[in-house]
Amino acid sequence: MTSNRRRSLLTLLLIGASEQGASYAYAGVGLSSDFKAVAARYPHSTPQGSYLRLGPQDVHDHISGIELSGTGPARRVRITITRRLRER
- Eight-state DSSP code of residue 86: P
pLDDT at 83 over 70: yes
Q: Are 86 and 72 in contact (CB under 8 A)?
A: no
CA-closest candidate to residue 66, choices 56, 52, 76:
52
What's the pLDDT tens digit per position in 39-80?
Answer: 999 999 999 999 999 999 998 888 999 999 988 888 899 999
The domain ranges of the chain are 22-88
Strand partners, 51: 48, 67
pTM over 0.85: no
